[in-house]
Amino acid sequence: MAFQNIIVEIRGQVGLVTLNRPQALNALNEALIAELNEALSDFESNPGIGCTVITGAEKAFAAGADVKEMAQKGYVESYLGKFLDGWTRIAETRKPVIAAVSGFCLGGGLELAMMCDIVIASETARFALPEITLGIMPGAGGTQRLPRFIGKAKAMDLILTGRMMDAAEAERCGLVARVVRPENLLDEAMAAAAKVASFSTPIVMMAKETVNRAQEMSLAEGARFERRLFLSMFATEDQKEGMQAFVAKRKPDFRNR
């Protein structure tokens, strides 16, 4: 499929998606979300890819879902249709995804970033869930994921006032993993992704799945889930290789088996 709204590249073992609707500050319309799903699903089934980076432009990672497209929507048509299905599928991506965020990261843009596993932000990044100003609330997981990232107090502050938070505040409250200089953003994100991709893909996928369970399960259930997957790793060749390489003081050669 030829993409109109994103640019897709493969660099080594990393898939790179650049959101590309500059005239609309990368507002996420349905066509873009469908293309993003297609790219992620291609990467997911490509054994040569171990990690994906999603980035935007200098001025905007994404200024939200496309308000001009949403403005026309009605309830019944949306309920019967597939309005948010594409967004849900992004959150279900099994290989790790890193968001490299510069500029505006608003509404659905922030919800997309929070579906990613690591968020790396430029010093210029600005985050908000301004849906309240449009007569709606976040609808792609924002009301649920934001409090899990930053706690109820700050999540309520952001969701009920719609205010913007800068990169320093976002790092302080745990919304982003790292803040870097604007000129280093993509290099840092690609280096982190290359590092993740250099490890055993099935083990990385299990680690991602297990950390995500922490958001959904009790501590006891989560720890049992972790134990089960941890023990299953001893059935992989990559566990043998990783540990034998350590003992032999050589670099491991993971085969994703």
Q: Which residue, 50 or 86, has its beta carbon nearer to ligand HXC?
A: 86
Q: Which of 30, 35, 111, 226 is catalytic?
A: 111
Q: Which is nearer to ligand HXC, 67 or 173 (CB)?
A: 67
30 is catalytic: no
Judge whether 65 counts as a catalytic residue: yes
Residue 159 beta carbon to ligand HXC: minimum distance, rounded to whole angstroms: 12
Q: Which amino acid is at 37?
A: N
Nearer to ligand HXC, 15 or 130 (CB): 130
State yes or no: is 188 an active-site residue: no
100 burial via Cβ count (<10 Å: 0-12, 13-18, 19+): buried
For the CB of residue 106, give the shortest distance to ligand HXC in the complex, in Å: 4
Q: Tell me which of 27, 62, 63, 65 is the catalytic residue.
A: 65
Tell me how far, at minimum, the Cβ of 213 lies from ligand HXC, in Å. 24
Q: Residues 6 or more apart from 78 whose CB is under 8 A from it?
A: none
Is 134 within 8 Å of 114 (Cβ atoms)?
no
Sign, Cα dihedral of 63, 66, 71, 77: negative
Alpha carbon separation from 238 to 97, 193, 211, 234 (Å, rounded): 22, 19, 20, 9
Catalytic residue list contains 108: yes
Q: Which of 35, 131, 188, 226 is catalytic?
A: 131
3-state secondary structure 190-210: HHHHHHHHHCCHHHHHHHHHH
Residues lying near ligand HXC in the complex (CB under 6 A) are found at 24-25, 27, 63-68, 84, 87, 104, 106-108, 130-131, 134, 138-140
Q: How far is the CB of 9 from ligand HXC (least distance, A)?
A: 25
- By C-alpha distance, which of 231, 237, 229, 187 is closest to 212? 229
**Catalytic entry in 56, 64, 107, 108:** 108
Q: Which is nearer to ligand HXC, 35 or 66 (CB)?
A: 66
Alpha-carbon distance of 179 to 192, in angstroms, equals 13
Which residues are the active-site residues?
A: 65, 108, 111, 131
